[in-house]
Structure 1
Amino acid sequence: MCEKEYYYYGNSEFMSGLGVIYTEFTGQRASRQINVLNGHSYASSCLQDYVPEVGFLLYDGRKDELDLSDSIKISQEEFERIWAQAVASDQNDT
């Protein structure tokens, strides 16, 4: 059985300041996430990914445990575009 995917964008408070977050949920679990802080994007699909300025890069709880009332639902196409930019940025930084 395929689980439905949901995509959200919203503001977030990170360890080093305010930024934005894009999250893909598959069913109730976050499957991919892009954290944007100070103009730098951090893409992750792994619960163990950690950056000191941001913290853990992928939400490990359930979607229904979050207050998404201030978040904006976005399209899969928009998420994929932001994901591709973030991954390309990560590759350029290495």
Structure 2
Amino acid sequence: MPFLERQWLKVVLMCEKEYYYYGNSEFMTGLGVIYTEFTGQRASRQINVLNGHSYASSCLQDYVPEVGFLLYDGRKDELDLSDSIKISQEEFERIWAQAVASGQNDT
């Protein structure tokens, strides 16, 4: 990819708005909660909380048998977020830091 195209792509990605949501979710082995950061229409980071364990991910390939894949791979506008709660970036960052620091992430 030529230099100017790479620079243009960086600018486009930097201009996309970020959204943060919290909601209940049914995992493969039970009920839990999900915190998701969307950059534009794509999930960029996600914290899955199940049975007191937090699984933080920013990679589509991350997988834990009890939870499944850890990062949503569809578009935000394909989800029904009507039962989800919008949260602030600060709240998401706090929960992300706790999840990463907990060391319970088995990915």
Give your verdict on TM over 0.5. yes
Is the CA contact (8 Å cut-off) linking 2:53 and 2:104 kept in structure 1?
Answer: no
CA RMSD of aligned residues (A): 1.8
TM-score when scaled to structure 1?
0.95
In the TM superposition, structure 1's runs of 4+ consecutive aligned residues that sit over 4 Å from their partners are 91-94
Greater fraction strand = 1
Q: Distance in 2 between matches of 1:85 and 1:58?
A: 18
Identify the structure with the greater helix proportion. 2
Identity of aligned pairs, percent?
Answer: 98
Q: 1:9-44: CA deviations, max 9, x gaps? A: 000000010000000000000000000000000000
How far is 1:65 from its partner? 0.1
List alignment gaps of at least 5 residues for structure 1: none
Identify if the C-alpha distance between structure 1 residues 3 and 90 changes in structure 2 by more than 3 Å, giving closer, same or farther.
same
Deviation of 1:91 after TM superposition, in Å, equals 6.6
Structure 2 residue runs without a partner (length 5+): 1-13
